[in-house]
Chain A
């Protein structure tokens, strides 16, 4: 069942000379874990903003086409109503913090308080996300005293606590170390299994290849491809779009190790099963 439908979406920022999003058309199903890949200025952040309604409600400019979220046209639906459906985690965790709370616990509660979630349910959700993001020990710390990685986890927890149907994440692991990044991706994959639709714009191609169901490849605002990680990362022209495929895929390409369908593997286990050998 499709939860997001994008038809001929075009968008240009008020002072910009070029389109940030250029004629995008695609559909995303409920529970899918979608990765958005692309070089700088490919339109990843703009697309996230357009899917959650910040474009066109917060950012003005030239807007064309149609975005339907849960069958509601984004352009005609007030942002307040859209925020019940979608959550967004931005790349800079510091500005995600409300600045009005003295503890991590209070920070996570901020959105829930605004939305009038009953206190009992609110406390349950806060405990759940504190546990999920492994930040229980930070609960009484002042959010501004946290490290970048800790802030990022608090920002993700704050968005998750609102239980959106669709969670958009714009480079959510930019300040996390490798272990925490792996944890966050695993947690996101679990959420997708439970029915949350996840859309992540990331530079971490390795993790996206492992966890995402489909990859949307963007270049200067246009969709180049929207298919499985294997399909997208098997493209011969990835370099032209500013993308370096996962290490395993590069290895498979140079060793000419292919699957029966002609695509290259994106994960170690698959690579080894095809006759290659990498010690995982």
Chain B
């Protein structure tokens, strides 16, 4: 079954860090280029995020995600380089269009922010299974109902896709035309979606029953099967994250 997750199942130092520390790191990394609007700070935190990806041995898995953001980065460079309001110093010309130094510097800062966001997110989502992230949030007090919705979406959507594939095969076997021009495809969509939606509705009702019987609405304080302190670098990573936060705040206040 195809999973709705970017988690890479392997082992490295970053995998020994608890999800909350990684989430804290991602938040600090997100905010740093805004707290410290200098290119140096943006470069430093982006470099740190990419270093963590390298240490975590998941760098190559972030590359496709960066590739997707390439279009956004390209548009930032073009728009800012050409039309940034403070543009004054011409930098270079391409096909008669002048790119300015001020706009290009701003574009660099924005690009670093985008790369930093993706890399910081990557540190969290590439090295932590989604259910572990959500369970950690539930331990911190997130509603179990919200947690269930998030977790079930991650599991049930891939299952619905598999059901869709099975129904597609079954309809093909019955001779339903599923490929061809737009009209044929629209017609086939009805034949495919009908059984998928009906079976999903039925399953949802039965699953709701099963959840009720398994104490989903119980009022007792929730417990967890997984140990809370199962991460060897739990304490040291928390200290590191707090130090990073203090460094960022100190830089902002005193430098």
| A residues adjacent to B (C-beta < 8 A) | 52, 54, 58, 79-80, 83, 86-88, 90, 92, 94-102, 105-106, 109-119, 122-123, 126, 142, 144-145, 158-159, 162
CB distance from A162 to the nearest CB of B (A): 7
Q: How far is the CA of A122 from the CA of B158 in the complex (A)?
A: 29
Contacts of A79 in B (CB 8 A): 212, 217
Q: Is the CB of B203 within 8 A of A100?
A: no
Smallest CB gap from B215: residue in A: A114
Q: Is the CB of B212 within 8 A of A115?
A: no
Q: Report the stretch among B23-31, B190-198, B221-229 that lies at the interface.
A: B221-229
Classify chain B: how many residues form its interface, as a range.
20 to 34
B207 at the interface (CB under 8 A from A): yes
Q: Which residue from B144, B206, B216, B223 sits with its C-beta under 8 Å from A117? A: B223
Contacts of A87 in B (CB 8 A): 213
Q: Is the CB of B223 within 8 A of A116?
A: yes
Q: Is the CB of B214 within 8 A of A142?
A: no
- 12 extra interface residue pairs, beta carbon distance < 8 Å, beyond A83-B212, A144-B159: A58-B208, A58-B209, A79-B217, A95-B206, A97-B210, A99-B207, A101-B131, A101-B155, A110-B214, A112-B223, A116-B218, A116-B220
Q: How far is the CA of A95 from the CA of B202 in the complex (A)?
A: 9
Q: Is the CB of B218 within 8 A of A114?
A: yes
Q: Is the CB of B212 within 8 A of A54?
A: yes
Q: Is the CB of B215 within 8 A of A115?
A: yes
Q: Is the CB of B151 within 8 A of A111?
A: no
| B residues adjacent to A (C-beta < 8 A) | 1, 129, 131, 144, 147-148, 151-152, 155-156, 158-159, 203, 206-225, 227
CB distance from A160 to the nearest CB of B (A): 12
Q: Is the CB of A111 within 8 A of B215?
A: yes
Given contacts A100-B148, A144-B155, contact A95 B215 (CB under 8 A): no
Q: Which residue from A102, A115, A158 sits with its C-beta under 8 Å from B220? A: A115
Number of A-B contacts (CB under 8 A): 110
Q: Is the CB of B1 within 8 A of A142?
A: yes
Q: Is the CB of B223 within 8 A of A113?
A: yes
Contacts of A114 in B (CB 8 A): 144, 214-216, 218, 220, 222
Nearest first, the 3 A-B pairs at minimum CB distance are: A116-B220, A111-B214, A109-B225
**Sample (23) of A-B pairs whose CB atoms are under 8 Å apart:** A58-B208, A58-B209, A80-B218, A83-B212, A83-B213, A87-B213, A98-B210, A98-B211, A98-B214, A99-B152, A99-B156, A99-B207, A100-B148, A100-B151, A101-B151, A105-B225, A106-B225, A114-B220, A115-B215, A119-B224, A144-B1, A162-B214, A162-B215
Contacts of B213 in A (CB 8 A): 52, 54, 83, 86-88, 111, 159
Smallest CB gap from B159: residue in A: A144
Q: Is the CB of A80 within 8 A of B215?
A: yes
CB distance from A65 to the nearest CB of B (A): 22
CB distance from A54 to the nearest CB of B (A): 6
Smallest CB gap from B220: residue in A: A116
Given contacts A80-B215, A114-B215, contact A94 B223 (CB under 8 A): no
Contacts of B206 in A (CB 8 A): 90, 92, 95-96
The main secondary structure of chain A at its interface with chain B is: helix
Contacts of A54 in B (CB 8 A): 209, 212-213
Contacts of B223 in A (CB 8 A): 112-113, 116-119, 122
Smallest CB gap from A88: residue in B: B213
Q: Is the CB of A158 within 8 A of B218?
A: no
Q: How far is the CA of A39 from the CA of B44 in the complex (A)?
A: 72
Q: Is the CB of A102 within 8 A of B225?
A: no
Contacts of A88 in B (CB 8 A): 213
Q: Which residue from A86, A92, A112 sits with its C-beta under 8 Å from B225? A: A112
Smallest CB gap from B151: residue in A: A100
Q: How far is the CA of A90 from the CA of B211 in the complex (A)?
A: 12
CB distance from B14 to the nearest CB of A (A): 20
Q: Is the CB of A95 within 8 A of B210?
A: yes
Smallest CB gap from B144: residue in A: A114
Q: Is the CB of B216 within 8 A of A99?
A: no
Contacts of A110 in B (CB 8 A): 214
Contacts of B156 in A (CB 8 A): 99
Q: Which residue from B152, B159, B217, B222 sits with its C-beta under 8 Å from A116? A: B222
Smallest CB gap from B204: residue in A: A95
Contacts of B222 in A (CB 8 A): 113-114, 116
